[in-house]
């Protein structure tokens, strides 16, 4: 039986990510920024379902939870375009996104959806592409896309596309860790935050960043000493309501909240004895009913 013809539907999870460490060390000549980051996947995820339509060249994208994500502007459609350019495959496909990861949250939902689409295309076509080819396609889609093709914990450099797996004891220590996440009733603009970094010359020292990650990877410091985000410095100055909320959450529950990526989602590791309902109530009281709160875990499959 021809595997390519036998499969006409594939459904895959598209996990969210958090940045345990994110240093922006300067602007590159190509317009991107140099970063040094440690990223981890978590249980919170979208679901990507890809189906053959039987219509050559057909592409459609549907997201029932958020209609603004339906249509040709979604990054999953660009993933299909890049796949077709590389493989020559013109099979008509429909992508259904079951959306759980919030938009403009720094959790990588759009990138993860696009990479899950690439993986689904590879499966539905009998896995013609090796990992190296998939990585090359992912790099064209966005700086943090290659990370989602790896094994859940990675060290990213360059503009984010140079990613290596982190394995061994560090991964074992993190796997299954409970985390709380919340998002204020707004999203943050990544280009705007980058402009603020440049305006205030808040770039991080590259040697310090490399040294800090190296200390954690070698076991010299625990993960809570690794937590850092250059965007956090800008965000806490611009959105003044976050800093006192962080302090109150630390005072009441011992939680150390950090911004993920360019935000607006914030996360903290939480031991099993910390009350989910009490933390949720404090956040809702502070930010209003339109804010969101999740309990998740670090997850490596």
Do residues 39 and 153 make contact, with C-beta atoms less than 8 angstroms apart?
A: yes
Other Cβ atoms less than 10 A from the Cβ of 240: the count is: 8
17 is catalytic: yes
Which residue in 46, 113, 144, 230 is the catalytic one? 144
Task: Please give the Cα distance from 255 to 268 (Å, whole number).
Answer: 6
Annotated active-site residue 237? The verdict is no
**Where in 6-152 does DSSP place strands (E)?**
9-27, 33-52, 59-62, 93-98
Strand ranges across the sheet with 292-297? 258-259, 266-269, 178-183, 292-297
* From 8, 17, 30, 55, the catalytic residue: 17
Evaluate whether 38 touches 165 at the Cβ level (below 8 Å): no
CA 78, CA 89: separation in Å to the nearest integer? Answer: 14
Q: What are the two backbone dihedrals, phi and then psi, of residue 182, each rounded to the nearest 5 degrees?
A: -140, 155
- Cβ burial 197-212 (10 Å sphere, 16+ → b, else e): beeeeebbebeebeeb
Which residues are catalytic, by number?
17, 144
């Amino acid at each position: 039986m021809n595997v390519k013809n036998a499969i006409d539907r594939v459904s895959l999870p598209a996990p969210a990510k958090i940045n345990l460490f994110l240093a922006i060390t300067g602007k590159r000549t190509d317009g991107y920024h140099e970063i040094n980051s440690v990223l981890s996947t978590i249980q919170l995820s979208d679901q990507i379902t890809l189906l053959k339509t039987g219509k050559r060249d057909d592409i459609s994208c549907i997201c029932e939870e958020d209609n603004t994500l339906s249509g040709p502007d979604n990054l999953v459609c660009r993933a299909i375009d890049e796949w077709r350019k590389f493989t020559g495959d013109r099979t008509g496909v429909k992508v259904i996104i079951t959306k759980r990861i919030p938009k403009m949250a720094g959790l990588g939902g759009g990138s993860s959806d696009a990479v899950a689409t690439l993986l689904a295309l590879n499966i539905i076509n009998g896995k013609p592409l090796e990992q190296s080819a998939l990585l090359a396609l992912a790099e064209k889609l966005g700086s943090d896309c290659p990370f989602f093709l790896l094994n859940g914990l990675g060290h990213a450099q360059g503009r984010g596309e140079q990613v290596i797996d982190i394995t061994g004891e560090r991964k074992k220590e993190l796997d299954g860790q409970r985390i709380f996440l919340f998002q204020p009733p707004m999203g943050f603009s990544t280009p705007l935050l980058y402009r603020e970094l440049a305006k205030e010359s808040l770039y991080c020292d590259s040697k310090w960043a490399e040294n800090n990650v190296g200390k954690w990877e070698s076991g010299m410091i625990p993960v809570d000493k690794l937590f850092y985000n250059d965007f956090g410095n800008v965000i806490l100055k611009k959105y003044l309501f976050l800093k006192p909320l962080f302090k109150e959450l630390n005072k009441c529950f011992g939680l150390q909240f950090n911004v993920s990526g360019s935000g607006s989602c914030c996360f903290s590791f939480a031991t099993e004895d910390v009350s989910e309902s009490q933390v949720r109530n404090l956040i809702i009281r502070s930010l209003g009913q339109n804010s969101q709160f999740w309990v998740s875990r670090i997850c490596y499959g």
